[in-house]
Structure 1
Amino acid sequence: MKLHRKIQPLFLIILLVMTNSSWAQDITVHDPVMIKQNDTYYLYCTGQGISAFSSKDLKNWNPEPAIFKEKPTWVDSIVPDFKNHIWAPDVSFHNNTYYLYYSVSAFAKNTSAIALATNTTLNPKDPAYKWVDHGIVIQSIPNRDMWNAIDPNLTFDENNVPWLAFGSFWNGLKMVKLNPDLKSIAQPEEWHTIAKRKRTFELQDTDPGDAELEAPFVFRKNGYYYLFLSWDLCCRGENSTYKVVIGRSKNITGPYLDKDGKSLNEGGGTLLIQGDKNWYGAGHNSTYTFDGKDYIVFHAYEIKNNGRPKLEIKELQWDADLWPIVKPMN
């Protein structure tokens, strides 16, 4: 659960698992997202100013400068005394520009905001390298909003209209239409709930609640929009119950249905990844196509290493009914 994960120490070993090979790297990551520019992969994750790494081969990773050496100037107006520990980035390339959405939040509150930074290159050695912060795109306020403005994911529909999915706990995961500049909400506003679980009615609005879901990621393939999301609790050692479930829809705004035809808005979700005797707390995924292959990226906790979290990258395969398949954790 992200509400608890952000205060945990980040001792993360990266383990990259491709089709028949695996490699271990001593780099610290959390909530990983990836993108490829030319012949280089870039990985961004939760951390001080947003942590960054690069690789030519998905084996040897080099640390890169944080996106923000200093916290954005506007952040203290949303989260007082913010320590520049920025959560769950999302990176995309569109119209010759890299768009990086990121989250700031107060612990265990929906005092949160999703903001945007852009760059024309991801290579810090390029003279044109410069992240430009555009500030808040979406903000959630306690006792006003029953959703949480964290965990962003940008997706374009079949008409190239941009949508931002996001959310954690409270009353479900949301999706909102953006303007073509990707910097603001389109007018008139169009909002959709894309997944939710039953929440105890008696809880205060400011309580994260017991509807444990977060981290939406929408992946377009096979004529469907696939919605990946994480259920249950992360970052609680052997008590971590994090897992990835999935639904799909012909329309980007839903309804998303699982394999049994149950709507994700009614608590549906087909299990894709969960822990086993060797792992627990597997979740917060992102999904990509690199060089003709589809991959799912997530983190998990390895029991034999005293629950130290690792990053997993696995190839996605597709069954006869066009549902994704992931090999067992080990």
Structure 2
Amino acid sequence: MTVRRPLAALAAAALLALLPNTAQAAASYPDPQPITGQQIIHDPTVIKLRDGRYVAYSTGGVIGARVSKDRKQWDDAGNAFATPPSWWYEYNDTGDPWAPDISYRAGTYWLYYAVSSWGTNHSAIGVATSPSGLPGTWTDHGKVFTSDTTDTWNAIDPGLVRADGRLWMSFGSYWTGIRMVELDPRTGKARTDAPVHHLATRPDAPYAVEGPAVVKHGRYYYLLASYDACCSGVNSTYKIRVGRSTSVTGPYTDRDGTPLLEGGGTLLLAGHGRFIGTGGETVFRDKGRDVLAYHYYDAEDAGTPKLGLNELSWGRDGWPRVL
């Protein structure tokens, strides 16, 4: 028995490595990498700064911030802003921001975020810039893109990506799903004549897909999105699905060829064990690797939302896998 068990485990692991991503995901999901310090977070966006540190921003506070030297120990670093910009109060009574996205280009850090209120698409995406990316150094530049109750989309959950020398922003939550607009790289705001592209949706109301992140790998653009319900602690059903396209504006299809505009989406990461409702994801580069940042609800800590980090690998067929 002491010999047969290890051999059986090795054989199972070898077989698992040969299975398609969908089969492997169905068999098991990896736990997030161990971290210490301030772990509580929701809708994280993470970047490695030019000074070698990491910063994570999130929903909560005035865009809550955490800083790390090694991606393992995370310390509370206050908020991106000391007080909410006055225009935020047009969208909720408390000036509460949601779902930030941080990026770096042209010598400047750019922080996109949403302001809205629960259950309405009277929403706006704003942008701020900083020379260092650290909390307390951001200058707000107002609205990037808005939606209202007459629109069929919801201007929250921004995600930036560059494609063929142009700058794009994916966004969306419910209200027919994920959309994309082109931005002016000089201002960081939506082009006035920019059409709104449709990337993903579900076949039935309430069209529960949101929180997009678009990643370029090889000749494909990969659209990651959170499906089903968040924000209910251990009752959350969030999960991350993915599709890909050779064009940043789509059409995106999943591994089986089903269009994401027809409810498709290959399962990348779902809740398991204590790690419930995995979603609110972004992707950042670190040491030449793609790293998935997301939140989960800790079933062993009363459903508290916490930071999940896992590296992504890319199979020979080009599809991502969570390590």
Indicate whether the TM-score tops 0.5: yes
**Higher helix fraction (1 or 2):** 2
Find the counterpart in structure 1 of residue 76 from structure 2: 63
Identity percentage of aligned residues: 41
Cross-structure match for 2:111: 100
- 1:172 aligns with one of 161, 172, 177: 177
Deviates more, 1:35-44 or 1:232-241: 232-241
Quick check: 1:153 aligned with 2:159? Answer: yes
AA aligned opposite 1:114: I
Alpha-carbon distance, 1:180 to partner: 2.1
1:305 is matched with: 301
1:303 CA displacement: 2.0
1:237-276 equivalences under 5 Å are: 237-276=233-272
- Tell whether the 8 Å contact from 2:222 to 2:243 is kept in structure 1 after alignment: yes
Equivalent residue, structure 1, for 2:88: 75
Following superposition, the deviation at residue 62 of structure 1 comes to 2.4
Q: Does the 8 Å contact 2:88/2:96 carry over to 1? A: no
Out of 32, 54, 57, which is 1:44 matched to?
A: 57
Q: Deviations over 1:119-157 (max 9, x none)?
A: 111246xxxx73111101111111x10111100011110
Instruction: Tell me, yes or no, if the aligned pair for 1:287 and 1:295 is still in contact at 8 Å.
Output: yes
Within-5 A mapping of 1:1-330: 17-18=32-33, 22-37=34-49, 38-76=51-89, 78-81=90-93, 83-123=94-134, 130-142=137-149, 144-157=150-163, 159-200=164-205, 210-327=206-323
Query: C-alpha offsets along residues 282-316 of structure 1, whole Å, 9 cap, x if unaligned?
Result: 11111122011221111112223332222110111
CA contact (8 A) 1:283 1:298 kept: yes
* Mapped contact 1:283–1:299 kept (Cα < 8 A): yes
Supply the AA of the counterpart residue of 1:31. D
1-side partners of 2:251 and 2:295: how far apart? 27
Equivalent-residue separation in structure 1 for 2:32 and 2:187 (angstroms): 33
Which consecutive unaligned segments of at least 5 residues does structure 1 have?
1-15, 201-209
Following superposition, which runs of at least 4 residues in structure 1 exceed 4 angstroms of deviation? Answer: none
TM-superposed deviation, 1:59: 2.0
Name the SS for the 2:300 alignment partner: helix
Task: Give yes or no for contact 1:151–1:216 (8 Å, CA) kept in 2.
Answer: yes
For residues 300 and 186 of structure 1, the distance between their equivalents in structure 2, rounded to whole angstroms, comes to: 35
- CA separation in 2, counterparts of 1:183 and 1:260? 35
Task: Give the secondary structure class of the aligned counterpart of 2:261.
Answer: helix
Task: Note the alpha carbon deviations across 1:219-239, whole angstroms, 9 max, x for none.
Answer: 111221110000000122332
DSSP-derived class of the 1:122 partner: coil
Q: What is the distance in 2 between the residues matched to 1:238 and 1:29?
A: 15
Q: Is the contact made by 1:241 and 1:281 (CA closer than 8 Å) also made in structure 2?
A: yes
Determine if contact 1:166/1:174 at 8 Å carries over to the other structure. Answer: yes
Q: How many residues align structurally?
A: 292
Task: Tell me how far 1:104 sits from its aligned partner.
Answer: 0.4
Q: Secondary structure at the match of 2:86?
A: coil
Quote the offset at 1:17 in angstroms: 4.1
- Other structure's SS at 2:278 match: strand
Aligned with 1:47: secondary structure?
coil
Contact 2:38/2:66 (<8 A) preserved? no
How many Å separate the matches in 2 of 1:185 and 1:308? 35
Question: Structure 1's 182 and 268: CA in aligned 2 closer, same or farther, altered over 3 A?
Answer: farther
